[in-house]
Amino acid sequence: MRDPSPYRVCFVCTGNICRSPMAESVFRAHAVEAGLDGLVEVDSAGTGPWHEGDGADRRAIDVLTAHDYEQDHIARQFRVEWFDHLDLVIALDSGHLHELRALAPTPHDAAKVRLLRSYDPDADHDALGGLDVPDPYFGGLDDFEECLEMIEAASGGLLDAVARAVDASGTGAEKGVENAGKAAESATAENASAADGPDAGKESA
């Protein structure tokens, strides 16, 4: 019997040099700490091609390093064909959420797209843009620190949802993607309408 395939999570922002690589590093560290290394595969991408081949923003690297997160990142653009093998696509703001859901080839694939901060119980789900992680690209180091704080606050809830999904998928060769998706979605079902909030403006990272 071959090993089960990992549960795959992809974080997506605009240019894949600030928010999504930060979220990737943080969530990977949480998954390893939770003993899910090898069971969960984490990566990131951008909705556009502007920074493909570049490393993460220097300020993102500095903030991650200061908080003992590892990163080794090369930016890339999200591809529609990835939906077929991904279990969760985590958008960093509502603009990305709508863009990714519009890109999804099936309703099942669209349902895989969730807002990161919808997993944060302390986020303001009713406020306009309350579930967005603001783009720090045009700000300073403090904005990157704030971005990291938001990512960390949501990562625990996301990890719980993914851990349940991994458990629901069992240990056989068939991963049970549909059941795993339902397990992850259950953590945010009450926030679905908030996750569909107005589009965010176009951003650079």
Look up 13 and say whether it is catalytic: yes
CA distance 8 to 15: 20
CB 11 within 8 A of CB 158: no
**In degrees rounded to 5, what are phi and psi of residue 100?**
-70, -40
Look up 114 and say whether it is catalytic: no
Per annotation, catalytic residue among 87, 93, 109, 135 = 135
Per annotation, catalytic residue among 8, 19, 59, 101 = 19
Per annotation, catalytic residue among 13, 43, 57, 114 = 13
Dihedral sign (CA 109, 115, 119, 125): negative
Look up 58 and say whether it is catalytic: no
Q: Catalytic residue positions?
A: 13, 19, 135
